[in-house]
Amino acid sequence: MSDSNPSSFGGWFASPPPPAAVEISARRVSVVAMSTRTITAQSSEDLPAGVVTPVMNGVNVHDPAALAGAIRSAVERISPKPRRVALILPDSVAKVSLLRFEKVPARTPDLEKLVRWQMRKAVPFRIEEAQVSWVEGVELEGGGREYLVLVARRELVESYEAACEAAGVQAGIVDIASINLVNAVLATNPGASAGDWLLVYVVPEFATMMIVRQGRVIFYRNRPSDGAPSDMGDLVHQTAMYFEDRLRGSVFSRVVLAGGSASGGDAEGLRRQIEERLGVRVEPLDVRGAVTWRDRIGVSPDLLDVIAPAVGVLLRDRPAAGGGERVA
């Protein structure tokens, strides 16, 4: 993994996606394998409590052997067994910010220095110890540009990569879940994602909200949680107010809910709560518009939620289904 690089949407590597993805959360390890746009295999392995604690500044992997064993068990149920994978980590391990530069340096090394300088006070650790990645955001009037920046402690990322290596697989791409949920939405139905739209991602440990305009993230918020937040209606309402007041928005063209089923909460109740506060239909993220399954793989709402981040990263840099723009 390079220390920093501009890359395609949200990825810390610019290389093409590998044939499989491993997602690690506090609760499970999930593996998805894909050939072209067909999911060929999927497996999950539950993690005992305390093996992994996804936080931005602290020990994440408390039992490396247990995590490596879970990864190995899940990967070995995939045939053929992948050797190189994309690694997806929880949103809570990284600091995500939107930076605006009125003048953008022409040279990448100069842009890197500027990004690191701006982020040095935004993270609770030394920026010299950080893995930094960025992707171009919206263009600003006058020639400037906004950038979506991801920062994570290098040691933290390496602890997850080491568990993969111990399990016999190499992490060629490392990313966070929500970024690839946006990829999954864009790949599933590009035409339906025109205008300004909102992604709401809810898991027991946190909730993330992202607003996307013309394929670029213009708002990102992550909030820790001990379960599916009971105040999600208030959170999305606050986001909508910011969208109208600060981002010159009006009505969301689309609201997509991800993670609700797999989080163990009341996904339908959560969907209705958000709809009532926004007055906009809320749809679950369904990646079946972007990929197909082999017949032996059963599809349920829980499974759709579990595999969505992996589908997003595996479809990165692939043309959208039915034509259209490439996944950002």
Q: Looking at residue 21, what is its pLDDT?
A: 98
- Encode pLDDT of 5-30 as tens digits: 433 334 443 456 699 999 999 999 99
The Cα 88–Cα 86 span in angstroms is 7
The per-residue pLDDT for 108 is 92
Question: Which of 103, 171, 94 lies closest to 134, judged by CA?
Answer: 94
In tens, the pLDDT along 127-167 reads 999 999 999 999 998 889 999 999 999 999 999 999 999 99
Q: Work out whether the CA dihedral 7, 12, 14, 18 comes out positive or negative.
A: negative
Q: Where are the alpha helices (DSSP H) in 230-266?
A: 232-246
pLDDT higher than 60, residue 67: yes
- Give the pLDDT of residue 265: 64
What value does the mean pLDDT of the chain take?
Answer: 88
Q: How confident is the model at residue 277 (pLDDT cuts 50, 70, 90)?
A: very high
* pTM of the full structure: 0.90
Query: Cα separation of 185 and 101, whole Å?
Result: 28
Which of 1, 2, 4, 18 is closest to 317 using CA atoms? 18
> Residue ranges of the domains in the chain?
189-289
Do the Cβ atoms of 190 and 183 come closer than 8 Å? no
The CATH code of the domain at 189-289 is 3.30.420.40
Provide, rounded to the nearest whole percent, the portion of the chain with pLDDT above 90: 74
Single-letter amino acid, residue 273: Q
Looking at the chain, the whole-number percentage of residues with pLDDT higher than 70 is 87
User: For the ranges 55-59, 197-201, 267-271, which has the lowest average pLDDT?
Assistant: 267-271
In this predicted structure, the answer to whether residue 232 has a pLDDT above a threshold of 50 is yes
pLDDT tens for each residue of 241-258 = 999 999 999 999 999 999
Q: Give the chain's length.
A: 328
